[in-house]
């Protein structure tokens, strides 16, 4: 895999994805084998939006590879509060670190920031745009539970603002997958995303629905997402769709025994706690997969020859 930055899943070929997932599987099987692989390597964390999983799993990943992290901290305690631009912030922090992870509320911010830095930059979520490292751990989890070819997946919830959905849907067009998108009318996939998916997939594997019942029995995987209150410009619009599409034991009566349920988390009320102890639930396993997958991503980005040159030669 030769990429300077990871901004969107659209930049990755099937071969790239398989390289990342295979490397993650090797690391998962024997993490101690890479415990000293990136000593003296510092990862810069720039989170302009809240995060638990992405931030902590990147930190864990870097430390488990022998490196360390420096964290910009909250926006409130940084010079962003004084009006510093994102371009200036990333240019300064790249001078302290060997790679950057950026989460920002503005769609397109990671692309813009990557134009100002030479160290590898990973987009950890840009508004309603993309979240490609989440997609890699999602694909890893799907591959482990259901396989990535001859797969039927339902992707449900906030498809309009859901960056995990946009990234995952693009990545899945590299595989033999039927994708069913389930949402209220007001939270359908953006038309430009549907257009792109049709371009990539030929349209054969893409269907949109308002009702889970229409497709539940045919699904191998159900990927549930939170309705993201914080992305709605209007609270009344949020209230119209809040609480729709909740999954409980009754919902699953029509599901196949082997259905795998995933969620990028955090959840609010989309999946009832009673599902957690069933064989369907894969969302905590999915979150835990963030560590080996992000270890693999960092290893591949930091082992690139140019990245090694920037750090003084060690690969």
- The single residue of 103, 170, 180, 280 carrying the catalytic annotation is 103
Cβ atoms of 105 and 80 within 8 Å: the answer is no
Edge to edge, the sheet with strand 99-104 lists 68-71, 42-47, 99-104, 121-126
CB atoms within 10 A of CB 192: 9
Q: Which of 154, 157, 162, 264 binds ligand CP (CB under 6 A)?
A: 264
Which of 23, 37, 38, 54 is flagged as catalytic? Answer: 54
- Separation of CA 197 from chain center: 18
Distance of alpha carbon 218 from alpha carbon 156, whole angstroms: 14
Q: Does 265 bind ligand CP (CB under 6 A)?
A: yes
Q: Does 52 bind ligand CP (CB under 6 A)?
A: yes
**Total residues at the site for ligand CP (CB under 6 A)?**
8
Q: Is 63 a catalytic residue?
A: no
130 included as an active-site residue: no
Q: Is 1 helix (H, G, I), strand (E, B) or coil?
A: coil
Please identify which of the residues 55, 64, 130, 131 carries the catalytic annotation.
131
Residue 54 interacts with ligand CP (CB under 6 A): yes or no = yes
- Is 60 near ligand CP (CB under 6 A)? no
135 touching ligand CP, by CB under 6 A: no
Spatial neighbors of 3 by CB under 8 A, at least 6 apart, are 11, 12, 16, 120, 301, 304
Residue 57 to residue 70: CA distance in whole angstroms: 14
Using the rule CB under 6 A, which residue among 38, 53, 104, 170 binds ligand CP? 53
Told to check if 104 binds ligand CP by CB under 6 A, we report no
134 binds ligand CP (CB under 6 A): yes
User: Which residue of the set 53, 104, 166, 294 is catalytic?
Assistant: 53
Q: What angle do CA 229, 184, 172 make, to 5 degrees?
A: 90
Q: Binding site residues for carbamoyl phosphate, as ranges?
A: 53-54, 103, 131, 134, 265-266
Q: Binding site residues, as ranges?
A: 53-54, 82, 103, 131, 134, 163, 226, 265-266
Active site positions, annotated: 53-54, 82, 103, 131
């Amino acid at each position: 895999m030769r990429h300077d930055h990871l901004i969107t899943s659209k930049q990755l070929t099937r071969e790239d994805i398989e390289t990342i997932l295979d490397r993650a599987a090797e690391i998962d099987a024997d993490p101690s084998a890479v415990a000293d692989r990136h000593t003296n390597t510092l990862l810069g964390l720039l989170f302009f939006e809240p995060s638990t999983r992405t931030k902590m799993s990147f930190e864990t990943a870097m430390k488990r590879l022998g490196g360390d992290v420096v964290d910009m901290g909250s926006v409130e305690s940084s010079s962003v509060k004084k009006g510093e631009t994102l371009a200036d912030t990333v240019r300064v922090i790249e001078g302290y670190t060997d790679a950057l992870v950026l989460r920002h509320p503005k769609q397109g911010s990671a692309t813009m920031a990557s134009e100002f830095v030479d160290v590898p930059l990973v987009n950890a979520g840009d508004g309603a745009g993309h979240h490609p490292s989440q997609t890699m751990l999602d694909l890893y989890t799907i591959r482990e539970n259901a396989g990535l070819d001859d797969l039927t997946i339902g992707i449900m919830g906030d498809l309009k603002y859901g960056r995990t959905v946009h990234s995952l849907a693009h990545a899945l067009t590299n595989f033999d997958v039927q994708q069913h998108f389930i949402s209220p009318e007001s939270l359908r996939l953006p038309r430009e995303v549907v257009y792109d998916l049709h371009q990539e997939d030929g349209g054969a594997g893409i269907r949109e629905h308002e009702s889970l019942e229409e497709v539940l029995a045919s699904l191998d995987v159900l990927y549930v997402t939170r309705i993201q209150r914080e992305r709605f410009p209007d609270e009344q619009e949020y209230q119209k769709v809040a609480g729709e599409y909740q999954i409980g034991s009754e919902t699953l009566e029509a599901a196949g025994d082997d259905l795998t349920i995933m969620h990028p988390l955090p959840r609010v009320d989309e999946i009832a706690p009673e599902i957690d102890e069933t064989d369907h639930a894969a969302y905590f396993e999915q979150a835990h997969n963030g560590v080996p997958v992000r270890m693999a991503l960092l290893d591949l980005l930091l082992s690139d020859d140019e990245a090694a040159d920037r750090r003084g030669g060690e690969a």
